[in-house]
Amino acid sequence: MKIEVDLVNIDGGNKGSVLRLLDRLDVSVNEVDQNKMPDGNRPLILPGVGAFGAVMQSIEKGGLSSRIIELVKQGTPYLGICVGMQILFDQSEETPGVAGLKLVPGTVVKFTKGKVPQIGWNKLDNAKSNGYEPGYAYFVNSYYAVPQNENDTLYSAEYHERYCAAVQHDNITGFQFHPEKSGAFGQTLMQKWLSDVAK
């Protein structure tokens, strides 16, 4: 049976390359936004590029953020990419005073060492297996998540300091890196997630 997903449309999202990856994986995509709300019958993917506050402002239009929170709490699988992962948390240093979705306890902080943003390939190490293999992925990020619960870290990486590169919390998964720009490894990761949530 062909896998179907809901792709959340946001202002400035990295939609094009994510759509191309899903097309290569023969995934049927249903685009959703504040005018066409997700119904919870398909896994949700939110690819984010841009600032934490701008993304939150975009999905708060028409109550989309409230609908996402409701569905995820009901068990709808969610994958957040880049800022789509960061907004899962309570708040971010990037936009003080703006609340995130508060679906994963923790906060988002800025890199304080090295060249910021981090741009390029970095190694993902397993903090929690669940069948996910280590490998190299492509990052473009100035901020990273600090989960309150260490067990929520799916992958960690090193950029002058150890940081959380991916999270998994119940039906929620977040990739700080870009699987759609990470070649065969990124495609394998996306296929792994899709296989898990389609069960």
Tens digits of pLDDT across the chain (199 residues) = 789 999 998 866 678 899 999 999 999 999 999 999 999 999 999 997 889 999 999 999 899 999 999 999 999 999 999 999 999 999 999 999 999 999 999 999 999 999 999 999 999 997 666 789 999 999 999 999 999 999 999 999 999 999 999 999 999 999 999 999 999 999 999 999 999 998 6
d(CA 150, CA 187): 26
| Extended beta strands in 106-150, E state | 106-110, 118-126, 135-141, 143-147
Fold of 4-197: Rossmann fold (3.40.50)
82 among known catalytic residues: yes
Catalytic residue among 94, 164, 169, 180: 180
The reply to whether 94 belongs to the active site is: no
CA distance 132 to 119: 23
Helix-helix angle 52-60:64-73, to 10 degrees? 90
Of 94, 164, 169, 178, which one is the catalytic site residue? 178
Is 169 one of the catalytic residues? no
pLDDT for position 14: 72
Residue in 60, 82, 94, 169 annotated catalytic: 82
If 0-12 CB within 10 Å is exposed, 13-18 middle and 19+ buried, where does residue 97 land? exposed
Would you call 112 helix, strand, or coil by DSSP?
coil
The pLDDT score that the predictor gives to residue 129 is 67
Predicted pLDDT of residue 12: 62
